[in-house]
């Protein structure tokens, strides 16, 4: 029951957040978020997107190779771009990651380990982001009460959701299967992520990727007309990135916009500029993922060419099998012999 309800529940929560924002702030912030984007912002988004995608793909390569799964950086970058595009345009927000995990697992001959490699790679990025978020909050404890007035409610909701996921997994796999899955995941985690020669590089790549996302947020804020110092914007943007990790969004939209409006308003920068910044950031991330469309197109053309080649090969084989072995034609009772005889 929980598996059936959860996809619709997460979409409903995101829709409710966006609806409340429209009700309280109107549609002007959303329209402005589309109108203020100019060519320099688009160029910056593509450049930052290239950097963050390469860094994330590199992190994926390190984890996958530690799990004995072959993965080249070029292939990883292409797959990552494709995943980013699918995540941005499809409601669930994780379809692209699921697709690259399963595809790489099939190509490598181990789907389970391929999926765990992607999970570990994404988990590493989220853990580093949470650590940075905690550092930001410790540096300014008053920021919590200012931007999250309902923190107790959020904590309670988080605990309920975590318990629901745990119960659903326990009922689906059962005690023994659940223990085996956890044991396998922990073993792969120690091997692929926590080895001495891997985790420092993975942590550094994750931190650099987060810096790229923050830079994208700064570009969005400047495009939205915010002139506040980067030092004032930085804590709000880091926390917005943390909130974006909540699995209650529509292609990334929902919690990011709600939190940005609340946080920027509490910081004295205005709720409407905060919402506009979040909208611009969402559009720029979509722009940054557009090379994934080229990857999809090229792969589609390659598949069609492969199918066409196989079709003509089969057609040629059928024609050859239907033709007579000799070119001579029997006439006047003479035996059929090759022309060369």
At residue 220, does pLDDT exceed 80? yes
Residue 333: strand, helix, or coil: coil
Burial of 173 (C-beta count, 10 Å sphere; 0-12/13-18/19+) = middle
At residue 249, does pLDDT exceed 60? yes
Q: Which helix (H) or strand (E) holds 326?
A: none
pLDDT digit string, tens, across residues 150-204: 455 455 555 555 555 555 555 554 555 445 666 676 776 777 788 888 889 999 9
334, HSE (Cβ side, Cα atoms, 13 Å): 8
Rounded to an integer, what is the distance from CA 63 to the centroid of its chain? 17
Task: Give the residue-averaged pLDDT of 110-115.
Answer: 88
Q: DSSP label at 193?
A: T
- pTM for the whole structure: 0.80
For residue 250, what are the β-bridge partners?
A: 253
Q: DSSP label at 250?
A: B
Burial of 72 (C-beta count, 10 Å sphere; 0-12/13-18/19+) = exposed
From its phi and psi, is residue 195 left (phi > 0), alpha (psi between -120 and 50) or beta? beta
Q: How confident is the model at residue 340 (pLDDT cuts 50, 70, 90)?
A: very low
Residue 180 or residue 115, greater confidence: 115
Q: Does residue 284 contact residue 220 with C-beta atoms inside 8 Å?
A: yes
């Amino acid at each position: 029951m929980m598996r059936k309800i959860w996809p619709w529940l997460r979409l409903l929560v995101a829709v409710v957040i966006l609806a409340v924002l429209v009700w309280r702030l109107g549609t002007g912030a959303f329209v402005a978020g589309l109108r203020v984007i100019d060519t320099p912002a688009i160029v910056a988004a593509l450049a930052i997107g290239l950097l963050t995608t390469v860094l994330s793909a590199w992190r994926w390569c390190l984890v996958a190779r530690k799990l004995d799964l072959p993965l080249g950086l070029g292939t990883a970058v292409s797959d990552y771009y494709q995943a980013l595009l699918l995540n941005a345009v499809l409601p669930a927000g994780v379809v692209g990651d699921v697709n690259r995990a399963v595809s790489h697992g099939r190509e490598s001959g181990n789907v389970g380990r391929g999926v765990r490699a992607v999970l570990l790679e994404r988990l590493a990025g989220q853990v580093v982001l949470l650590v940075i978020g905690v550092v930001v909050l410790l540096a300014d404890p008053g920021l919590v009460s200012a931007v999250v007035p309902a923190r107790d409610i959020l904590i309670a909701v988080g605990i309920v959701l975590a318990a629901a996921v745990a119960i659903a997994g326990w009922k689906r796999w059962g005690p023994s299967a659940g223990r085996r899955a956890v044991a396998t995941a922990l073993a792969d985690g120690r091997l692929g992520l926590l080895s001495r020669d891997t985790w420092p590089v993975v942590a550094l790549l994750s931190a650099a990727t987060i810096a790229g996302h923050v830079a994208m947020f700064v570009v969005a804020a400047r495009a939205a007309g915010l002139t506040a110092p980067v030092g004032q914007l930085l804590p709000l943007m880091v926390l917005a990135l943390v909130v974006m990790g909540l699995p209650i969004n529509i292609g990334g939209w929902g919690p990011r916009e709600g939190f940005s409006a609340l946080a920027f308003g509490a910081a004295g920068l205005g709720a409407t500029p905060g919402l506009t910044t979040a909208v611009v950031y969402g559009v720029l991330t979509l722009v940054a993922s557009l090379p994934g469309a080229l990857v999809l197109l090229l792969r589609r053309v390659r598949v069609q060419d492969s199918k066409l080649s196989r079709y003509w090969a089969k057609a040629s084989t059928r024609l050859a099998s239907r033709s007579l072995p000799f070119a001579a034609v029997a006439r006047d009772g003479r035996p059929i012999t090759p022309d060369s005889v």
